[in-house]
Structures are given as C-alpha cells and as structure tokens.
C-alpha cells in the first residue's frame, strides 16, 4: 500500500459526531445526520502522519504494534516507522535483484513487512530513529523512492551479466544517507522487543476471496505482497464476525483495503457504500431519491433524517470487484473501535495516517459494515482473537 496523504476523494456529507468524545445516546430519528453508540473501543496511540511518503503500511502496522504493546505490557510507546521502512527496502532490493527485476519494488508494502522486521531487527523509538531526510522536517520520499528504484534497475541491467560484490553495500549507503544508519541501534532494538513481550509469531493475516480455497493458507496475489507471504482465507461472514469479536475482546485490527471510491471521505470522517438505486423508502423522500442521478445521489445522500440504505455485499460482488481492479490494496489503516448508528448499522472507527488535523475527527474516520465487506482486502490481528473453532479449522496453535 502506498496511498499518499493528499490523495483524498471528497464526498459531500453532513456528519454529527466527534470520535474523541463518543457517548452512548438515545436514538433520535428527528436529528439529521449520524448518531453513534459505542459498542467497543481499544486504547491506542496518537495519530501520526506519513506526510509525503508511500508508507501507510508501516504507519498502520506500527500503530497496531503500539496498541498491542499497550494491551500486553501497558506501555505507550512512540515507535519508529522509518526503522521498518529502512529494513523493508533492504529486503525488497535483495528480492528484486534475485528475481531479475520481475518482482515489485517501490515504497508500498503489507502489514507483515513490519512484523518480519521486528522478528529480525527489533523495534526502536521514533526519538532514536526519526528517519527524516536531510532538508526536510517531515517525510518527503519522492526523491528517495526514485533513486532506489533507479539503482536496483541499473544493477539488474549490468551488461557484464555478472553482478558485482559491491551493489548491496552501495544500496545500504544510499539508505543510510537518506534515512540514517540504524545498525548501532539493533542491540537496543532487540532488547526492547524482549522487554515489551511482543512476539511477531503471534500475528496472523486473514483474507476472504472465492477464487482461493477456504480455511487454507493461501498466496494472495497483490502487487505489494513482494515477499510472497501467505494469508488464511475464510468466508466473508466469518471475516466480518472475526473483526467485530476481536474489537469486543480488546484486540485491534490492522486493515488493508481500498479507499479510492466515491463512498470514502476522510475529510468528512466517513466511508459508506450506498445503493445507487434506492428502494423501499417511504413518503415523498422516495421520489426525491428516484429522481436523482448517481452523482446527485452522492451529493445529497445525507440530507435526510437517517443514513441511506447501503449495498448488500456478497462474496460474488467482492470477487468481481477484486478481479476487475475496482478494489485494490491501496491503503492500510488501523481499526480501533466498533460503533452502531441509529439504525443499528455497525461502523468501525479507523485510525488513519494523514495526521490528526487532516479532518475534524482528529484523523479518525468511521467505515460502515457494508464498506468493509466490499473493500477489505486483508486484516492482521493477534491469533488469540480468533475463535477456537476457527483456529482449529486453520490449524493455528
């Protein structure tokens, strides 16, 4: 995932809530907009910004790890996202060269890229490794990404058809020049993992697609799955039930999915999947909906007293959207709470990495159940959040 901060699809909505002060409240159908009751919430760390970098995977997974450390050890740590970016880039370069350039190389990645780095290199505090590139006080990675991509492409195009023994050291030198050398921190980084009791082997990734066998460990074909990691594939209803039950048990969820469609508006702190042809609305409101074009529908969908009907997402719909590139793995975020609106529809409080001032909700947004059903590509969570029966089917101990 490599979604940038300023690439936001704006949807005109009217939302009445503040995620930082959610309160249980009586359902009142006379109030326009959205009224939310809190079902479950997981304490999590502060919102941070990926700035102008394609590193949402690191920010989402780092937030997830910080939250897990809070759950396991009680500490609230500010971990370095760039530490994971550094070592992931090293591994990507090796893989790219070994694959003669046929694998994906770029700033994007997956949640498991962070846990793999933790298993091998540990974790460090952001204060010890901020990873800012010289000349900037925020993360601006366009030049870095282009330089690294150009370097590895030059390595595999070597006319002598024999690689030098110098290219890996040269690649590391580039990383060191831009992000800083983390090697002096490795001993401290590994000790911090021990102290926090974080075990990278305790985390699993789940997906749900019909083209893959259910209850099996499968290879999910994603461009940013450059390390060819496997995922557990389960039916859609089970995946959605798992997300809800995990949040209710105090486990947060690292989310991988699509935020490129019209129903997603980080600016308005909401993501929904409305029907374009609305049925079964009563009274004069129904004629209003029927007369609207799809564009007008999106602009006016919140002018009524309650949220609009959303699509009933099936496994076939998910599969078709995935196969047609309508749903891609373009962004990672962090699910931290479960709400319901005045109609009883579930929403998932989602921590984004576009800084706390990026919307009026402190950088969080609410994604509806229908939106998640359609647009979730994969999730990561602690294996103990899985029901015993599902663990048994997946042969997870």
- Per the model's pLDDT, the better-predicted residue between 230 and 300 turns out to be 230
> How close are the terminal C-alpha atoms of the chain, in Å?
29
pLDDT band at 158 (very low <50, low <70, confident <90, very high): confident
Q: Is the four-CA dihedral 340, 345, 351, 357 of positive or negative sign?
A: negative
Instruction: Check whether 35 has a pLDDT greater than 80.
Output: yes
Residue 16 has pLDDT above 50, yes or no: no
22 has a pLDDT exceeding 90: no
β-strands 203-207, 230-233: how paired? parallel
Lowest mean pLDDT among 12-21, 97-106, 158-167: 12-21
Tokens of 232: 């557990």
Q: Point out which residues pair with 354 in neighbouring strands.
A: 49
Q: What is the mean pLDDT of residues 223-252?
A: 97
33 torsion bin: left (phi>0), alpha (psi -120 to 50), beta (else)? left
Predicted local distance difference test score (pLDDT) of residue 311 = 94
Under the banding of pLDDT at 50, 70 and 90, the label for residue 29 is: very low
* Spatial distance between the Cα atoms of 35 and 293, rounded to a whole number of angstroms: 27
Task: Tell me what pLDDT residue 13 has.
Answer: 33
pTM confidence score: 0.87
- Compute, in degrees rounded to 10, the torsion defined by CA atoms 133, 152, 149, 141: -10
Instruction: Tell me the average pLDDT across 368-381.
Output: 98
Say if residue 387's pLDDT is above 80.
Answer: yes
Token pair listed for 393: 């089917």
DSSP codes, 95-121: HHHHTTT-S--SS---HHHHHHHHHHH
Q: Rounded CA gap, 323 and 1, in Å?
A: 18
> Which tokens belong to 162?
């024999």
DSSP string, 5-29: TT------------GGG-------T
Within a 13 Å sphere around the CA of 212, how many CA atoms are in the beta-carbon half? 23
pLDDT score, position 287: 43
- In this model, does residue 272 exceed pLDDT 70? yes
Looking at the predicted structure, is the pLDDT value of residue 295 above 60?
Answer: no
Residue 292: predicted pLDDT: 52
Lowest mean per-residue pLDDT among 80-94, 286-300, 323-337: 286-300
**Residue bearing the bigger pLDDT, 293 or 214:** 214
Buried b / exposed e across 33-48, counting CB within 10 Å, b at 16+? bbbbbeebbbebbebb
Task: Tell me the average pLDDT across 364-372.
Answer: 96
Helix (H) or strand (E) holding 364: strand 364-368
All domains in the chain, ordered by first residue: 19-273+310-394 (3.90.70.10)
Residue 12 CA neighbour count, 13 Å, CB half? 8
**Per-residue confidence (pLDDT) for residue 306, from 0 to 100:** 56
Q: Can you give the pLDDT at residue 293?
A: 54
The percentage of the chain sitting over the pLDDT mark of 90, rounded to a whole number, equals 78
Residue scoring higher pLDDT (81 or 23): 81
Q: What is the rounded distance in angstroms from the CA atom of residue 103 to the CA atom of residue 109?
A: 13
Q: What is the pLDDT of residue 34?
A: 83
Alpha carbons 352 and 362: distance in angstroms, whole number: 9
Q: Binning pLDDT at 50, 70 and 90, where does residue 234 land?
A: very high
Do 18 and 364 meet the contact criterion of CB atoms below 8 Å apart?
no
How many whole angstroms from its chain centre is CA 382? 15
CA dihedral 89, 93, 95, 98 (to 10 degrees): -170
pLDDT digits (tens, 9 = 90+) for 322-362: 999 999 999 999 999 999 998 899 999 999 999 999 999 99
Q: β-strand 216-219 against 346-351: which pairing, if any?
A: unpaired
Cβ pair 44, 336 in contact under 8 A: yes
| pLDDT at residue 298 tops 70 | no
Q: How many CB atoms lie within 10 A of CB 117?
A: 23
48-60: average pLDDT: 97
Give, in degrees to the nearest 5, the angle at Cα 136 between 134 and 141. Answer: 85
Low-confidence winner among 14-28, 108-122, 155-169 (lowest mean pLDDT) = 14-28
Residue 268 — very low, low, confident or very high, per pLDDT cuts 50/70/90?
confident
Model confidence at 161, pLDDT cuts 50, 70, 90, reads: confident
Q: Is 53 helix (H, G, I), strand (E, B) or coil?
A: coil
pLDDT for the residue numbered 1? 56
Question: What does the buried/exposed string (b/e) look like for 244-274 if buried means 16 or more CB atoms within 10 Å of the residue's CB?
Answer: bbbbeeebbbbbbbbbebbbbbbbbbbbbbb
Query: Regarding predicted confidence, which is higher, 267 or 116?
Result: 116
Whether the CB-CB separation of 266 and 358 falls below 8 Å is answered with: yes
pLDDT at 376 over 90: yes
CB-hemisphere CA count at 13 Å for 336?
26
Q: What is the pLDDT of residue 159?
A: 79
- Which pLDDT score is estimated for 262? 83
């Amino acid at each position: 995932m490599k979604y940038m901060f300023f690439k936001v699809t704006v949807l005109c909505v009217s939302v009445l809530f503040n995620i930082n002060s959610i309160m249980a409240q009586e359902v009142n159908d006379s109030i326009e907009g959205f009224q939310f009751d809190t079902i479950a919430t997981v304490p999590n760390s502060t919102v941070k910004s990926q700035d102008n970098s394609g590193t949402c995977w690191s920010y989402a997974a780092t937030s997830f790890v910080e939250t897990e450390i809070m759950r396991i050890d009680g500490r609230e740590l500010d971990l370095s996202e760039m530490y994971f970016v550094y070592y992931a880039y090293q591994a990507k370069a090796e893989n790219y060269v070994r694959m003669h350039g046929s694998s994906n190389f770029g700033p994007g990645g997956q949640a498991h890229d962070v846990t793999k780095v933790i298993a091998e290199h540990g974790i460090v505090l952001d204060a010890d490794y901020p990873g800012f590139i010289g000349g900037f006080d925020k993360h601006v990675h366009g030049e870095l990404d282009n330089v690294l991509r150009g370097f590895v492409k030059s390595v595999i195009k070597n006319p002598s058809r024999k690689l030098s023994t110098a290219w890996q050291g040269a690649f590391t030198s580039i990383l060191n020049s831009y992000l800083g050398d983390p090697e002096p921190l490795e001993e401290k980084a590994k000790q911090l993992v021990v102290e926090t009791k974080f075990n990278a082997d305790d985390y699993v990734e789940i997906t749900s697609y019909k083209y893959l066998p259910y209850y099996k460990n499968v290879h999910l074909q994603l461009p940013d799955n450059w390390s060819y990691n496997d995922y557990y594939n389960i039916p859609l209803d089970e995946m959605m039930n798992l997300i809800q039950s995990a949040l209710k048990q105090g486990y947060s969820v690292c989310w991988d999915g699509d935020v490129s469609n019209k129903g997603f508006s980080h600016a308005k702190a909401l993501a929904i999947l409305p029907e374009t042809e609305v049925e079964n609305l009563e009274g004069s409101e129904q004629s209003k909906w029927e007369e609207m074009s799809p564009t007008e529908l999106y602009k006016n969908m919140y002018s009524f007293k309650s949220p609009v009907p959303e699509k009933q997402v099936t496994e076939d719909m998910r599969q078709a959207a995935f196969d047609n590139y309508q749903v891609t793995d373009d962004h990672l975020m962090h699910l931290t709470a479960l709400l319901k609106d005045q109609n009883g529809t579930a929403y998932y409080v989602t921590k984004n990495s576009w800084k706390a001032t990026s919307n009026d909700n402190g950088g969080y947004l609410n994604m509806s159940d229908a939106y998640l059903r359609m647009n979730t590509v994969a999730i990561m969570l602690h294996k103990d959040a899985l029901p015993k029966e599902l663990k048994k089917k997946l042969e997870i101990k």
